[in-house]
Structure 1
Amino acid sequence: MNSEASSSKWADLAPRVLSAIAMAGIAISAIWIGGAVYQALIIVVIGLCMWEFGRLLNPTPTALPIVVGLAAAAGIFLSSFGPINAPNVILSPQIAALFVAPVMGAILASQHRVLFFSYGLLIMLAGLGFLSMGPGAALVWFILIIIISDVAGYFAGRMIGGKKFWPRVSPKKTWSGTIAGWVGALILGLIGMALGKFSVVDALAFPFIAFAGQMGDIVQSAIKRKVGVKDSSNLIPGHGGVLDRFDAMIGAAGALALLTGAGSLIFAG
């Protein structure tokens, strides 16, 4: 392997590290301050994600992305008020607010209506998941799962290589990197268990959260490939958009919120 090939192999390491440090700084500050500051961060992030998603599926200049972005932000804002009673979770105003932006997008979009609703709802569920987890220790551990999984997968994929995980959708992802992400998450869970923070069941759930994050990344890659774009936007100079940076967390937080809600309904009788 020549030096040029070797350097290009790691060419995206510096941008990934710098963007991770910047996002970590913002996230840590919001978590530390908590309250309205943390809620405002989640509202802004979800609103921007939905705006970018609207632009991806409707590239022709319209007001749709702005409308669904504002609707998403408003939905997360309304969902932040008060506890959600499990027996009436589907009918609660907080949950109903999550459906407004996806439904609006599905109705007003000129194409990809089913995709707009389904992935749009996942974005909204992720927002609910972030509100439920934080600010607090649960959110910190959740972020660590995603970071450890991503870092382990990045280095294992480039150092070990091997068979591609899903070449048609994400040509760079390998099975070695995917499995390394699961192992990294499991090790983190075992560390948390050793510290007395989690039970065995909780620790064993860490790889599943990591997998949901990996699938969130892959699904977003598939969407971009479908519409023929590289980045969701250029909001982060040289690094794409907010949706590009939060796709794994959206997948993991959305799946976690969905599973937690389903479990609450089941155990509520």
Structure 2
Amino acid sequence: MSAHGSSPGPKAGRWSDLGARTLSAIVLLGLGGASIHFGGVAFAVFVSVAVGAVFWEMLRMYDADLSLSAIGCGAVAALTVFVSSFLPLVVTPLVLAFPLVFGAWILERQRRSFLTMAGWVLFGGFGLIWLREAYGVSWTFWLICVVVATDVAGYFVGKHFGGRKFWPAVSPKKTWSGTAGGWAAAAVVGLLFALLAGLPANLTWISALVAMASQAGDIAESALKRRLNVKNSSQLIPGHGGVFDRFDGMLGAGALCFLIAITWG
């Protein structure tokens, strides 16, 4: 067999996951876009199911022997996020505490780490639902577009230019070029929404901040996976790994936007 037919070259291997990654992203964007459009129960269900799946994945990452109890905790997390989205904001922390207590109870080790990560996931998921109900479709689509643009630009710019690693001890694949590319893409998205959707003019630099929050969410999950010696949170989404692998940035952005909204309005 000739060298030309023996195996794909390094360049082909670099983009080998692009097909599955793109198809999965299209499906997720379709479902997410439809749920954002309809809002209310539809969007609350979409986000709540995602949070429940993340809880199941996290518990399995901490302890691979957990089975039905991890599924049960994931179901409780999904239910509490869904219910809390229709309750007064003042009681939300009490409702969201249930899956935290449940998860800490079934874990025998690293409970503090779990509570930190799980608290952020619940907070970010609830923040996404709250943003849609409080600010409407345009703001929610802006947030989603910023996170997607950050991820896509970071992927392609990082793959193309490579260069110095951003934080090799935590996320060895991320580069400074990809990170900066994500910031730039987010700023462009903010500018377009300001010009075309009538959103505030300062959305350009706010979008860059949201991009950083999205990347921080991704890095936080990467740090957890390295700590627990896990490659992917699961294999539920082809080309992306698990739900946590796909939604970590969205949860980081949702948490930041919720904080900004309730602090400054």
TM-score, structure 2 as length reference: 0.89
Q: What is the match of residue 17 of structure 1?
A: 22
Q: What is the match of residue 219 of structure 1?
A: 220
- CA gap of 1:16–1:99, structure 2 versus 1, over 3 A, is same
- CA gap of 1:111–1:192, structure 2 versus 1, over 3 A, is same
Identity level (%): 37
2:66 counterpart of 1:68 = no
State the Cα distance separating 1:123 from its structure 2 match. Answer: 0.7
Deviations 1:158-216 (A, max 9, x none): 11111000111111100010011001111111222223622233321101111111111
Deviations 1:220-258 (A, max 9, x none): 111111111211122235642211111111121123224
Q: What is the match of residue 249 of structure 1?
A: 250
Q: What is the match of residue 115 of structure 2?
A: 117
Q: What is the match of residue 7 of structure 1?
A: 12
State the Cα distance separating 1:106 from its structure 2 match. Answer: 2.5
Q: What is the match of residue 87 of structure 1?
A: none
Q: What is the match of residue 147 of structure 2?
A: 146
Deviations 1:70-91 (A, max 9, x none): 221121122121442xxxxxxx
User: Matches of residues 189-208 of structure 1 in structure 2 within 5 Å?
Assistant: 189-195=190-196, 197-208=198-209
SS of alignment partner, residue 9 of structure 2: helix
Residues 166, 176 of structure 2: 8 Å contact kept: yes
Q: Counterparts of 1:200 and 1:112 in 2: how far apart (Å)?
A: 44
The equivalent position to 1:44 in structure 2, one of 49, 52, 62, is: 49
The root-mean-square deviation of aligned C-alpha atoms, in Å, is 2.0
Q: Counterparts of 2:166 and 2:71 in 1: how far apart (Å)?
A: 35
Residues 78, 94 of structure 1: 8 Å contact kept: no
SS of alignment partner, residue 202 of structure 2: helix
User: Matches of residues 76-115 of structure 1 in structure 2 within 5 Å?
Assistant: 76-84=81-89, 92-115=90-113
Residues 235, 242 of structure 1: 8 Å contact kept: yes
Q: What is the match of residue 186 of structure 1?
A: 187
**106-115 or 136-145: which moved more?**
106-115
Residues 102, 118 of structure 1: 8 Å contact kept: no
Q: Counterparts of 1:235 and 1:181 in 2: how far apart (Å)?
A: 25
The equivalent position to 1:129 in structure 2, one of 127, 130, 136, is: 127
Q: Counterparts of 2:206 and 2:49 in 1: how far apart (Å)?
A: 29
Residues 64, 109 of structure 1: 8 Å contact kept: no
SS of alignment partner, residue 166 of structure 2: strand
Q: Which runs of no fewer than 5 residues in structure 2 stay unpaired?
A: none
**109-118 or 99-108: which moved more?**
99-108
User: 1:16 corresponds to which letter in structure 2?
Assistant: R
Residues 214, 248 of structure 1: 8 Å contact kept: yes
Q: What is the match of residue 54 of structure 1?
A: 59
User: 1:174 corresponds to which letter in structure 2?
Assistant: T
State the Cα distance separating 1:142 from its structure 2 match. Answer: 0.6
Q: Counterparts of 1:120 and 1:202 in 2: how far apart (Å)?
A: 29
Residues 49, 69 of structure 1: 8 Å contact kept: yes
**161-170 or 99-108: which moved more?**
99-108
Residues 157, 176 of structure 1: 8 Å contact kept: yes
Residues 236, 242 of structure 1: 8 Å contact kept: yes
State the Cα distance separating 1:17 from its structure 2 match. Answer: 1.1
